[in-house]
Amino acid sequence: MRSHEIKTRIRYAETDQMGVVYHGNYVQFIEMGRTEWLRALGISYKEMEAMGVMLPVISIQINYKKSAYYDDVLTVKTTLKKLPSVKIEFEYEILNESKEIITQGNTVLAFINMETKRPMKCPAHLIEKLSVIDF
């Protein structure tokens, strides 16, 4: 599974007085996409942390193309860019109900050993699950 999609409906609290989604909320949408991508693969952040692995975001890039509005249903498509090593990189597309791309993004996260607080290689069980993906 290289890509995964989720849907989310825009809540009133995520918008300004004009009903337009506040730009900072897109970070939450792509985080939802990433965590659900991992969950669909059979891995959760909670399990990774229990195994002593943190996965902080070290880079984020968002390109806004069109606005989203209150009550819109958005599709967040999350795609693994390449097989991870010490870092894992995702690309995102957020589409409106008309299937128009309204936002594109990219995140890079680092695998960190929680005990040493130092970078580490991607856990073997994650590499094993990803080894079947063609890049």
Which sequence positions are flagged as catalytic? Answer: 16
Q: What are phi and psi of 87, to 5 degrees?
A: -120, 155
For residues 109 and 74, is the Cβ–Cβ distance under 8 A? no
Is residue 12 exposed (0-12), middle (13-18) or buried (19+ Cβ within 10 Å)?
exposed
Locate 106 and state its tokens.
Answer: 């990219």
Structure token pair of residue 49: 């942390």
Q: What whole-number distance in Å separates Cα of residue 6 and Cα of residue 4?
A: 7
